[in-house]
Amino acid sequence: MRLLVTGATGFIGRTLVLRALGDGRIGEVIAPVRSAEKLRAQLAREGVVNPPKLNILEATAPDWDFRALGKVDRVVHCAGVLFGRSREEYFRVNVDGTLRLLETVEGAPKTVLLSSQSAGGPTPAGQTARRIGDGDRPISWYGESKLRMESAVREMAPQFPVLLLRAPMVLGPGDQATLPLFRMVRGFVWPKPGFKSKHFSWISSDDLVDAIQAWFERGPEISPFTANVTSPGTITDRDLMQTAARVSKRQGLALPVPQAALRLVALASKVIPAIGENVPSLTPDRAREIWPNRWVLDARPFEEATGWRGSANFEDTLARTLAWFRREGLV
Ligand SMILES: NC(=O)c1ccc[n+]([C@@H]2O[C@H](COP(=O)([O-])OP(=O)(O)OC[C@H]3O[C@@H](n4cnc5c(N)ncnc54)[C@H](OP(=O)(O)O)[C@@H]3O)[C@@H](O)[C@H]2O)c1
């Protein structure tokens, strides 16, 4: 079987490639990346050197073209812009890049496109969880680009099975987005946006890879199929801080900071790029996703359709993430 994974130098793509390299059913893993050298160096740090079934190509979205590859059996599209500098950059990569992939890939492969809960927006008021079919109201350029990607794929109506997978925050070893959290809990005071607790769905990278595998094997023949996926349980921003501190063997206090003050910091990042570089979620656009108090998803339809259920434990996932940061010398 030939598997094409985009975004292999990123957190989720790399997790998928490492899993696929150890899967005897997969004969070739094709990884189009912007820098082959970056991917080779990352894999070497995971103890994987020149694996014979890995085919690394250099290609950049949206100008990539996969026709020369011939037929592939499965695609997982992880390449994307999560923290861009302009609306145009989000749309060019997340929308145009995805369409170009679907237009040029051959063999009618089963295809998973990583969308995001940001495409739908926060949980609608009065509901415990956002369902597929609730009115989509993205509140960031990132979310708008993911929603547009989904609708553009529907308009294109590819003649092969496509899953539009709306993931919540993904946690696990290799996730750079939680580095500021682990660095913060080394101090005693942990600034927390707003006075009320914020509630989130989450998914471990291992659960996400298992969910993708389950859809490949047992996914419904509806295309495109849009679905939410989550690991068990809802977490709060305080849980994130306290659990990151516990696994780091640190103690401290969450200090609620008025959101108005944080809005000013996010605005300041327009003129002080170092703010966004150190905490990417504080760029003015992505910061809009910090203010709502509920980002919880209903994943039951996907679970019913595939028989898959997440099984990750939140504390264990954060402990393994920290171990990875320590190994990389980042904390
Ligand atoms: N992480 C989460 O919590 C989360 C949650 C929901 C959905 N998602 C979605 O899951 C997917 C993967 O996320 P991630 O966390 O793995 O992100 P990531 O670590 O930032 O990785 C992004 C990947 O996309 C590649 N990329 C960016 N622009 C590109 C371009 N123009 N051409 C080719 N490759 C490009 C990056 O390559 P370089 O290494 O060359 O920069 C990298 O390999 C994304 O679509 C994201 O929206 C993620």
SS (H, E, C) 53-89: CEEEEECCCCCCCCHHHCECCEEEECCCCCCCCCHHH
Distance CA 238, CA 261 (A): 19
For residue 295, report the distance from its CA to the centre of ligand 1, in Å.
Answer: 20
Tell me if 127 sits within 8 A of 135, measured CB to CB: no
Tell me which residue has its CA closest to atom 45 in ligand 1. 80
pLDDT attached to residue 266: 73
φ and ψ of 134, to 5 deg: -65, 150
Hey, which of 4, 5, 12 would you mutate to test ligand 1's pocket, going by the most ligand atoms within 8 Å of its Cβ? 12
Q: How far, in Å, from the CA of 118 to the mean position of ligand 1?
A: 14
Distance 308 CA to ligand 1 centre (A): 24
How close is the Cα of 11 to the center of ligand 1, in Å?
A: 7
pLDDT of 223: 86
Number of H helices, E strands in the chain: 13, 14
The mean per-residue pLDDT over the stretch 145-155 comes to 98
Please give the Cα distance from 98 to 102 (Å, whole number): 6
Please state the three-class secondary structure of 139-170 as a single string. Answer: CCHHHHHHHHHHHHHHHHCCCCCEEEEEECEE
Give the gyration radius of the chain's Cα atoms: 19
pLDDT in tens, 44-95: 999 999 999 999 999 999 999 999 999 999 999 999 999 988 999 999 999 9
CA atoms within 13 A on the CB side of 78: 26
Domains and CATH numbers, the chain: 2-171+203-230+295-311 (3.40.50.720)
In ligand 1, the atom with minimum distance to the C-alpha of 15 is: 16
Confidence at residue 260, expressed as pLDDT on a 0 to 100 scale = 83
Choice from 4, 11, 117 to test ligand 1 binding pocket (greatest atom count within 8 A of CB): 11
What is the predicted pLDDT for the residue at 275?
A: 67
What confidence tens digit (pLDDT) does each residue in 289-325 have?
999 999 999 999 999 999 999 999 999 999 999 999 9
How much of the chain, in percent, has pLDDT values that exceed 90?
A: 86
Nearest ligand 1 atom, CA 13: 16
- For the ranges 136-140, 220-224, 285-289, the maximum mean pLDDT occurs at 136-140
Q: How far is ligand 1, taken at its centre, from the CA of residue 176, in Å?
A: 11
Distance 323 CA to ligand 1 centre (A): 22
Do residues 75 and 215 lie in contact, with contact meaning Cβ atoms separated by under 8 Å?
Answer: no
Q: What is the pLDDT of residue 85?
A: 85
Please list every protein residue whose CB sits less than 6 Å from any atom of ligand 1: 7, 9-13, 34-35, 38, 60-61, 78-82, 93, 114, 116, 167, 169-170, 177
Quick check: 212 pLDDT over 90? yes
pLDDT in tens, 242-296: 999 999 999 999 999 888 887 777 777 776 767 667 777 777 788 899 999 999 9
pLDDT at site 240: 95
Q: Which of 9, 93, 113 gets mutated to test ligand 1 (max ligand atoms within 8 A of its CB)?
A: 9
Are 36 and 66 a contacting pair, CB within 8 Å? no
Ligand 1 atom closest to Cα of residue 170: 3
pLDDT value of position 278:
73
Mean pLDDT of the chain: 94
Task: State how far the alpha carbon of 97 is from the alpha carbons of 55, 60, 85, 330, in Å.
Answer: 20, 8, 17, 31
Report helix, strand or coil for 228: strand
